[in-house]
Amino acid sequence: VGGPAMQTSQKDFNNAVSQLKLLKEDPGNEVKLKLYALYKQATEGPCNVPKPGMLDFINKTKWDAWNALGSLSKEAARQNYVDLVSKLSASSESPSPEAPAADRKQPESDSLVVTSGDGITTIRLNRPTKKNALTTQMYHDIIAALQAASKDESPITVLTGSGDYFCSGNDLTNFTSLPAGGPEEMARSSAVLLRDFVNCFIDFPKPLVAVVNGPAVGISVTILGLFDVVYATDRATFHTPFSHLGQSPEGCSSYTFPKIMGSSKAAEMLLFGKKLTAQEACAQGLVTEVFPDSTFQKEVWARLKAYSKLPPNAMRISKQIIRDREKEKLHAVNAEESNVLRERWLSDECMNAIASFLSRKSKL
Ligand SMILES: CCCC/C=C/CC(=O)SCCNC(=O)CCNC(=O)[C@H](O)C(C)(C)COP(=O)(O)OP(=O)(O)OC[C@H]1O[C@@H](n2cnc3c(N)ncnc32)[C@H](O)[C@@H]1OP(=O)(O)O
């Protein structure tokens, strides 16, 4: 680091600080945290202030990030800061690689990719380095993608993931960017977002298939109870660590899971966070069929392509008959679960669990 670091002048650093304010896109919380830490290190040197208390989430996370830079020199921190800002400026100026389809609003971030072809609209979670954890933006993008898919030409809609995970559930850093209204406002807006997100799955009018390409955690497991068909690789696992996180069930799972697998198996998952293998999830009715990982993609897509040639109106109407009987109940359950979670998110149990996940991160 010594050589190039020495070449970064104070002027380059000041320019980078100004350039950052001109970025067209929000770089996201993790990058902002990194920038904060590098800025502090570059201007004040190694972290020299007392660690904030456990429940002072934001300041503790910032402190952890700064402290994690250890004895990095001011010059090296300046260089890293300048490099990072220049990378961000370059990527925010590069044009989008794909022209938006005329009838579909493209997702706001590249963490979600929506494509259509062979009679199938595929919504792909595309944040593999974070195990496809769902950011707030991704919830909004999935809602928009489902609304568009409900009106598009494809008879079948699929949700799947990129990389080795299907999805690691809610991105736990979502809870660290507190709005002006503080934790209460954060909990309120998250509950509204959760309710709207789950409502889209309840109301989705066509066959909705989950292609579970790897382990699934939290909300990515619970919503499976609202899909019509769930295909899983034999590498997939399914767990909902709600109690570990001081949280409670969502995605209508407090209603769908007992119905699908019986109350005691559902309780083992929802209360104790028991992790199921793909075979177990299939035996309990949460998964429709399990495929060997080596042939998973080939077999599943071949089958879905064949199904997509079935008469689309017949499939919609059949789904409607099945779903309509349950809709009112599902909406009521969703509203209740979202309200309960709103309070849970403000509990010490939940705050401590999230703080503990975040401090695990900062040590990595
Ligand atoms: C507004 C609506 C709210 C709806 C609420 C829903 C409730 C839930 O979904 S509860 C479930 C929440 N999810 C979790 O508790 C999972 C947390 N993650 C993990 O336990 C582990 O990361 C893993 C078991 C998924 C994977 O472990 P592994 O050792 O293989 O990989 P890691 O090194 O831990 O992960 C790589 C990378 O990804 C980050 N990451 C993974 N999952 C999340 C997550 N859920 N939130 C935030 N970040 C996540 C992880 O920190 C690593 O990041 P770095 O490389 O930067 O360290």
How confident is the chain (364 residues) per 10-residue block, as mean pLDDT?
56 87 76 91 94 81 91 91 86 47 66 97 98 97 98 98 98 90 94 98 98 98 98 98 97 98 98 98 98 98 98 98 97 98 96 90 49
The contacts of residue 213 (CB under 8 Å, 6+ apart) are 160, 161, 164, 165, 166, 233, 236, 296, 297
User: E strands, the chain, where?
Assistant: 112-117, 120-125, 156-161, 208-212, 216-217, 229-233, 237-239, 276-277, 289-291
How many angstroms separate the alpha carbon of residue 246 from the centre of ligand 1? 15
- What pLDDT was estimated at residue 298? 98
Task: Give yes or no for residue 219 CB within 6 A of ligand 1.
Answer: yes
Q: Are 356 and 362 in contact (CB under 8 A)?
A: no
- What pLDDT was estimated at residue 94? 52
Task: Give yes or no for residue 130 CB within 6 A of ligand 1.
Answer: yes
Task: Give yes or no for residue 8 CB within 6 A of ligand 1.
Answer: no
Residue 238: φ, ψ to 5°:
-135, 120
What DSSP string describes 81-132? HHHHHHHHHHHHHSPPSSPPPTT-PPPSSTTEEEEEETTEEEEEE--GGGTT
How many angstroms separate the alpha carbon of residue 12 from the centre of ligand 1? 36
- Going by alpha carbons, the residue nearest to atom 8 of ligand 1 is 218
How many angstroms separate the alpha carbon of residue 363 from the centre of ligand 1? 15
Task: Give yes or no for residue 170 CB within 6 A of ligand 1.
Answer: yes
- What pLDDT was estimated at residue 35? 93
Tokens of 318: 């059949």
From the list 315, 54, 41, the residue with the least C-alpha distance to 205 is: 315
How many angstroms separate the alpha carbon of residue 139 from the centre of ligand 1? 16
Displacement of CA 105 from its chain's centroid (Å): 20
Task: Give yes or no for residue 90 CB within 6 A of ligand 1.
Answer: no
Question: CA 235, 239, 243: angle at the middle one, nearest 5?
Answer: 160
Residue 235: φ, ψ to 5°:
-85, -15
Amino acid 220 reads S
Task: Give yes or no for residue 125 CB within 6 A of ligand 1.
Answer: no
ipTM over 0.90: yes
From the list 39, 36, 43, 85, the residue with the least C-alpha distance to 60 is: 36
Q: How far apart are CA 268 and CA 275, in angstroms?
A: 9
pTM above 0.80, yes or no: no
- What pLDDT was estimated at residue 5? 43
Q: Are 213 and 236 in contact (CB under 8 A)?
A: yes
Task: Give yes or no for residue 169 CB within 6 A of ligand 1.
Answer: yes
Task: Give yes or no for residue 33 CB within 6 A of ligand 1.
Answer: no
From the list 225, 176, 141, 214, the residue with the least C-alpha distance to 52 is: 176
How many angstroms separate the alpha carbon of residue 179 from the centre of ligand 1? 22
- Going by alpha carbons, the residue nearest to atom 11 of ligand 1 is 218
